Amino acid sequence: MTTIDDFNFKQKKALIRVDFNVPLDGEFNVTDTNRIEAAKPTIIKVLEDGGSAVLMSHMGRPKGQRNADMSLKHICAKVSEIIGVQIKFVDDCIGPKAEEAVAELKEGEVLLLENLRFYNEETAGDVDFAEKLSKLGDVYVNDAFGTAHRAHASTTIVAQFFPGQKCFGYLLAKEIKSIEKVMRTGEKPVLAILGGAKVSSKITIIENILDKVDHLIIGGGMTYTFIKAQGGTIGDSICEDDKMDLALSILEQAKAKNVQVHLPVDVIAANDFSNDAETQIIDVDKIPSGWQGLDAGPKTLENFKKVILESKTILWNGPIGVFEMESFAKGTISVGNFIDEATQKGAFSLVGGGDSVAAVKQFGFQDKVSYVSTGGGAMLESLEGKTLPGIAAILEG
Ligand code: AMP
């Protein structure tokens, strides 16, 4: 795997695809700087080598139109503050203006290009547009995991114009290595904890992961499709009736592959989908009509704890209950705490994909697990076993 460490950028211009798709408030202040901070090590490496950095990113969904509200000029001050260098900005991402700004760039300087998605050609993966982008650097560095599953011009197509002169930035390399640790090289026992609302959105992940793990914990709303399929009574709990056969087939496949599946045995059931609902702890397969399971119960958490603490490699995707409501957040918080404990004992833990990252941040677990992935869709597709186009484009050499 060619990373940025394989290059010396002295007197070179690095064209770096970063993910600066950050949220702005009404006054265009950046409200979450995580993605900018995540790109910092890569940018600093280029500058310390004696090179210069040309940063390209998208922001929002301007759909091929110039849109002043989504201009990357709004984030220049914040990027300068975080990187520690006064960065320059050019209000285009291709063409003479951008090329001139790049030509004027000196060692140690950073230039930010305007929002790539002001051109439809970006998301269309247009080759001519990608070739124009390629004129803006000597080496192409991809450090945007969040868009690595898209075959866009700046994330994938542009790489073909840099034969032998392209690599992964530190962030993307870290993402790839973390996923590899779980999917291929992780120390056993390997455990996947899958939660979230629906079986249908996780099915490809479950099927792919059965070949890689020793234990599978199933939690969250997905639980009830499995329980009903096995003949349990689930009251008004969320369920995908058309996925019950699939659920049974997953359990059979798991058995055949020697994967131990751990489902909840008891739940916190509520008489309404509301934080103030009446609740009761009840066996997962005996939920009466008018009640719905919204979080894992105490016996379940004891079982989950045992499995988590025995594991050496842990993947967590999807909340264990309706964590957005305080009354049903305990399962998710507890699982976070167990993973924290396992990590302290030496396990490798990766959290990624969609709502699990939101949950981890909400409860402050991001520093307690080994790695929190920065990509929602990209992470889910990686776990599904797909080769991401942005990653393949670099690996092709
Ligand atoms: P996903 O995007 O598939 O990871 O699903 C995340 C959502 O699943 C969160 O918004 C949770 O509130 C929801 N969820 C978790 N457990 C349950 C449950 N028992 N019933 C309904 N929704 C749930």
377 is known as an active-site residue: yes
Q: What would the pLDDT profile of 362-394 be if each residue is shown by its tens digit?
A: 898 888 999 998 888 899 899 999 999 999 999
* Residue ranges covered by each domain of the chain: 4-168, 177-383
- CATH tag for 177-383 (out of 1.10.3720.10, 3.40.50.620, 3.40.50.2300, 3.40.50.1260): 3.40.50.1260
Residue 155 and residue 144 in contact, taking contact as beta carbons nearer than 8 Å: yes
pLDDT score for 361: 83
Give percent above pLDDT 90 in the chain: 89
Q: Indicate the pTM of the whole model.
A: 0.89
pLDDT score for 376: 82
50 is known as an active-site residue: no
* Phi, psi for 319 (deg, rounded to 5): -70, 155
Please give the C-alpha separations between residue 298 and each of 115, 221, 284, in angstroms, as whole numbers.
Answer: 49, 17, 12
196 is known as an active-site residue: no
Catalytic residue from among 64, 108, 377, 385: 377
DSSP secondary structure of 224-246? HHHHHHTT-EETT----GGGHHH
pLDDT score for 85: 96
Say yes or no: do domains 4-168 and 177-383 share a fold.
Answer: yes
Q: What would the pLDDT profile of 29-57 be if each residue is shown by its tens digit?
A: 999 898 999 999 999 999 999 999 999 99
Topology of 4-168 in CATH? Rossmann fold (3.40.50)
Residue 108 predicted with pLDDT over 80: yes
Q: What would the pLDDT profile of 142-163 be if each residue is shown by its tens digit?
A: 999 989 999 999 999 999 999 9
Give just the sign of the alpha carbon dihedral 151, 153, 157, 162: negative
- Among 199, 279, 322, which residue has the most ligand 1 atoms within 8 Å of its CB, making it the best to mutate? 322
**189 upstream amide cis, omega within 30 of 0:** yes
198 is known as an active-site residue: yes
**Residue of minimum CA distance from atom 10 in ligand 1:** 322
pLDDT score for 377: 87
Q: What would the pLDDT profile of 84-97 be if each residue is shown by its tens digit?
A: 999 999 999 999 99
Ligand 1 centroid–CA 322 distance in Å is: 5
Q: What would the pLDDT profile of 317-335 be if each residue is shown by its tens digit?
A: 999 999 999 999 999 999 9
202 Cα nearest atom in ligand 1: 3
Q: What would the pLDDT profile of 216-273 be if each residue is shown by its tens digit?
A: 999 999 999 999 999 999 999 999 999 999 999 999 999 999 999 999 999 999 999 9
Arithmetic mean of pLDDT over the chain:
95
Q: What would the pLDDT profile of 176-217 be if each residue is shown by its tens digit?
A: 999 999 988 899 999 999 998 889 988 989 999 999 999 999
